[in-house]
Amino acid sequence: MKIVLKVAITCKKCKTCVLGIASKVKGIKSLTYDDEKSTLTVVGDVDVVVIVEHLRKAKHPAEVSHKCYVYSFVTSFQSNSKIKIPLQEIPSI
């Protein structure tokens, strides 16, 4: 799952703090911060609400910049074709 959060960071210390807080959440595979867009991209099996709560408690308010969808590809036994099925929608906060 890929989650994109908008987090305002003013200095290098804030960036280190945000990345440190987010990295402690279980299930995260990678973190990337884009300085130009002020977005934190989180990849992994993690709940977006947990990440946002941790950041807000540390005085770094975050918001989901757009909805991300997770899809599962199911192979049909009869036609041998893949079908795209939405599993979960991440709501905007």
Overall CATH class of domain 2-89:
alpha beta
Q: So where are the chain's domains?
A: 2-89
| CA-CA-CA-CA torsion sign (90, 54, 28, 32) | positive
What single string gives the DSSP state of each residue in 44-60?
ES--HHHHHHHHHHTT-
- pLDDT(83) > 80: no
Instruction: Convert the pLDDT of each residue in 2-59 to its tens digit.
Output: 889 999 888 889 899 999 999 999 988 999 999 898 899 988 888 888 888 999 898 8
Mean pLDDT of 75-80: 46
First to last CA, the chain: 17
Bigger pLDDT: 1 or 73? 1
Res 85 pLDDT > 60: no
